[in-house]
Amino acid sequence: MKIEFVNSRVEENFLDLKKMSKKHGAVLTKAIHKRYAQLVALSNVKELMLSGLDNPHILKGDFHRYVGWSITGNIRMILDIGLQEGEQYGEGVAQRTTITIMGVCDYHGNKDEWIIN
């Protein structure tokens, strides 16, 4: 899968593990890096959604065009799978091979607190 980042700050935070560990701790850094490595190994959005790896799911509310992928507890990697406004997840979306990492967020219900963005 082709991985893109929403901006250079998110990219730097994901790729500089030493910096991430210093800022967010070793445990969360290891969990984020593990999830990133799993994402890179997938071929398309469908593989992600059917992977069974910690419940990737379409989000609701302001995040309705994104996928949340559990890292730990309420912490999610937020992924843009290319859903357009009003578009539903279907076979066309499932076959997409590019995902944009929006960041990492403590997302639960009406609460969203960005950890990496």
- How far is residue 42 from each of residues 9, 80, 85, 106, 116, measured CA to CA in Å? 24, 15, 25, 24, 22
* Exposed/middle/buried for residue 107 (C-beta within 10 Å: 0-12, 13-18, 19+): buried
Residue 99 pLDDT: 97
E-strand stretches of 14-65: 57-58
pTM: 0.92
Superfamily of domain 2-116: RelE-like (3.30.2310.20)
In tens digits, the chain (117 residues) has pLDDT values of 999 999 999 999 999 999 999 999 999 999 999 999 999 999 999 999 999 899 899 988 888 899 999 999 889 999 999 998 888 888 889 999 999 999 999 977 677 899 999
Write down the domain spans for the chain. Answer: 2-116
Residue 57 pLDDT: 92
| Alpha carbon distance 75, 55 (integer Å) | 12
